[in-house]
Amino acid sequence: MSSSQPAEPSARAGSAEAAATRPAAATQPASAAQPASAAQPASAAQSASAAAARSASEGRPSRRVSGTNAWRRIAVLAVCAVALLAAVAASLALGVRGMDPSAVWQALLAPDLTDPDQAVVLQLRVPRTVIGIAAGLALGLAGTVIQGVTRNPIADPGLLGVNSGASLAVVLSISFLGITSPLGYIWFAFAGAAGAAVLVFAIGGAQPVRLALVGAALTALLTPLIALVLLRDTEAFNQYRFWAVGSLTGRDLSTVAILWPFLLVGVVLAASLAHRLNLLALGDDVASALGQRVGATRALAGASIVLLCGTATALAGPIALVGLVVPHAARRLVGSDYRWITAAAILLGPVMLLAADVIGRLVVPNSELEAGVVAAFLGAPVLIAIARSRRVAGL
Amino acid sequence: MRVAADHPSQAPVAVADVRAVVAAARGRHRRRHILIVVAALAVAVALALAALSFGAAAVTPDRVLAVLFGGGERLDRFVVLELRVPRILAALLVGAGFALAGAVFQSTLRNPLASPDILGIAQGASLGAVWAILGLGAGGAVVAGFAFGGALVVALVIWLAAWRQGLHGIRFVLVGVGMSYVCGSTVAWLLARSDVRQAQTALHWTVGSVADVRGPELAVLAIGVAVGAAAIAVMSRVLPALALGDDHAAGLGVRTDVARLALLVLAVAVVAVATSVAGPIAFVALIAPAVARRLVGGGDAALAASTCVGAVLVLGADVAGQFALPGFTAPVGIVTGVIGAPYLLWLLARTERTSRA
């Protein structure tokens, strides 16, 4: 198992030690319930094994532990849901144009487009909020599935070559087909993202490390091709550079209206995979010994990743770090059971992307920073904090 | 390790026999390594001679040789000595530097994906350079200086953020990935809000090119890569121990954190120098060590072979970039990506076994 991981986690962060020295870790059923297997180096893998063992066996002590934990996790999810509501409210109410909260309320209940405030809310802020929710959800969930299926803690849509695939397709559509509107890009972005993901899974196939390597290789192949087109075609570059930042603006609700079926299927697939990912965290051999058809899991996970990444990139352009940070944050909050991680990621993805968008509106006077830029700046400290924590480890 | 694999089922033998077997295996391995290095150097010389002759103004090989031995016509001397030799030297040095640093990164962090591209250093340099070009309207040495500064600042931030009672591979890689996304997003944002022509110049820098490297920059590059390589060569004897894992390395008497830190600092310095001169040439640091390890075999870091393979790779890519597309000289960074990535993909598609690649 350790040889299949790209980087071995620190042997020091053994879970017994973590449980002994860190109060928060004691709430983990894994580290509390499994004192004996300290020989395993990967504490998170160990947590996962404990979680799966717990869900498999119905022994009384572990059930009691999981009972108290379930309440804690539900509380965490409730907090996440409140955060999501707050983010939505902020996204509707805050912006370059200051306005009374009552105007926002009015716009939602009894729309009056002649009022300029209400028009801003309805025509600008509602679409970007909806797009932010959809794209954030897709990214967070995609990241969760990717990390689960590759067992690679640095796996995210960007690393699997999805963003570069979408970028290349958009660049080609601008340069050779003369398409110039975000609405026109969406199918190219979707096709590019999906094509890249399919290619990566086709070559990377069964092996986690290989999947990540193939993704990196594909990115390394496509990035210079993109640059090649852009260096020769100034006009295409001029169009592309605004898409490449990653933003929730300049699109209207019709993009969501077109793409929601893909999103829905992707979400349902990802949610139904959560239990399979728990078993997969134990390694392919153990998972198949426990009766799981690992190949089928990978195929389904691949399909959901393709759908989710394609939707997110088509909606908002290439957005960095949301897909990487959200699963890590969710894992920190609710433990290593993928059923809970999935639920938390569904809430946290939109929170993060909407927060990035709102902050981007407020941080520069009378102007906006694109959500993609802010998301990177928001995500990096979170990622660093997670990386610095004791329990950082393989998955 | 290798000996055990070669002779899995031998009956117990005398200690002297075992020693002889080990020595023979080591000798074979070393000879193979040296052979690869010599072969790579030969290819590099051949490529260099070809690169000296071909180009917009063709200089026949005999005239090239005449120039190199101090003779030749004035125009030939200008084309060969002023234009082509610096470019070739820059390609060789940059390739060597990237590949050596990549090999050090990958073996020290025990992650085959670890490379300056993924660790945020290339992006830090890009951010510095793009900032200098678009924010300050600078060019030439100022851009190189900002790139160097950007690379070092980002490397420092990654270190400070990843340091916690030592430097552990996964923590370092995670922080590096985060920082590289931050820098990449900022570069994208800077490109989007500037004049499109200037932005294109900046984009050109971020692809990586050795076309415009001249005297002083070349000297800095040569000194930086040479000093860094010498220091890494001295330090590299701890690598086999580090490859066993921290605990085993510590058991063998290696101060793992100190050794890893020293090696990484040296690798970052080499990458920063190379990147500031030539831009972040994609993929060399990732692919050259992988190729070299595959050629040499035996699972060690293969630093010397990596260095030579990297030099050949960049020079070959630069030559190819000048002739691949009619009417457009592709920057070397585009070519390295386009020829390097399919190789890695093919390699991955072919091998069934993935240990630490």
Return the residue of B nearest to A1 by Cα: B355
Of B191, B197, B337, the CB nearest to A223: B337
Confidence band for B333, pLDDT divided at 50, 70 and 90: confident
| Bigger pLDDT: A13 vs B254 | B254
Distance from CA of A375 to the nearest CA of B (A): 9
- Please enumerate in sequence order all residues whose Cβ is within 8 A of that of B179, keeping only pairs 6 or more positions apart, or say none: A380, B120, B123, B124, B154, B157, B158, B161
Of A11, A218, A220, the CB nearest to B282: A220
- CB spacing of A376 vs B173 below 8 angstroms: no
Domain holding B261: CATH number? 1.10.3470.10
- Please enumerate in sequence order all residues whose Cβ is within 8 A of that of B175, keeping only pairs 6 or more positions apart, or say none: A383, A384, A387, B120, B158, B161, B162
- CB spacing of B354 vs A210 below 8 angstroms: yes
B76-95: average pLDDT: 85
Return the residue of A nearest to B188 by Cα: A245
Lowest mean pLDDT among A4-8, A337-341, A388-392, B341-345: A4-8
Q: How far apart are CA B273 and CA B270, in angstroms?
A: 5
Q: Which two tokens stand for residue B177?
A: 């990935």
| Bigger pLDDT: A268 vs B355 | A268
Residue B11 lies in a domain: no
pLDDT at position B166: 62
Interface test with A, best of B107, B179, B181, B205 (most A CBs within 10 A): B181
Judging contacts by C-beta atoms under 8 Å, the chain B residues touching residue A384 are: 161-162, 174-175, 178
Return the residue of B nearest to A7 by Cα: B111
Of A4, A237, A387, the CB nearest to B174: A387
CB environment B38-61: b (16+ within 10 A), e (fewer): eebeebbeebbeebbbebeeebee
pLDDT at position B351: 59
pLDDT at position B169: 63
Confidence band for A354, pLDDT divided at 50, 70 and 90: very high
Distance from CA of B139 to the nearest CA of A (A): 18
- CB spacing of B203 vs A231 below 8 angstroms: yes
Note down the domain range covering B301.
29-350
Judging contacts by C-beta atoms under 8 Å, the chain A residues touching residue B109 are: 7
Per residue in A298-323, pLDDT tens? 888 888 988 898 888 888 888 888 98
- CB spacing of B283 vs A220 below 8 angstroms: yes
Residue B314 lies in a domain: yes
Distance from CA of A293 to the nearest CA of B (A): 20
Domain covering A68-388, topology:
ABC transporter involved in vitamin B12 uptake, BtuC (1.10.3470)
Domain boundaries, chain A: 68-388
Structural contact between residues B200 and A230, judged by C-beta atoms closer than 8 angstroms: yes
A245-266: average pLDDT: 85
The CA–CA distances, whole Å, from A129 to A132, A359, B16, B48 equal 5, 13, 75, 57
Return the residue of A nearest to B182 by Cα: A376
Residue B251 lies in a domain: yes
Judging contacts by C-beta atoms under 8 Å, the chain A residues touching residue B118 are: 216
Q: How many domains does chain B have?
A: 1
Confidence band for A48, pLDDT divided at 50, 70 and 90: very low
Q: At what angle do helices A60-93 and A338-363 cross, to 10 degrees?
A: 20
In the predicted model, is pLDDT for residue A347 greater than 90? Answer: yes
Distance from CA of B291 to the nearest CA of A (A): 14
Question: What is the ipTM, given to two decimal places?
Answer: 0.73
What's the mean pLDDT when you consider all of chain A? 77
Q: Count Cβ–Cβ pairs < 8 Å, chain A vs chain B.
A: 193
Residue B6 lies in a domain: no
Return the residue of A nearest to B334 by Cα: A224
User: Which of B63-72, B92-101, B246-255 is predicted most confidently?
Assistant: B92-101
Judging contacts by C-beta atoms under 8 Å, the chain A residues touching residue B337 are: 220-221, 223-225
Distance from CA of B335 to the nearest CA of A (A): 8
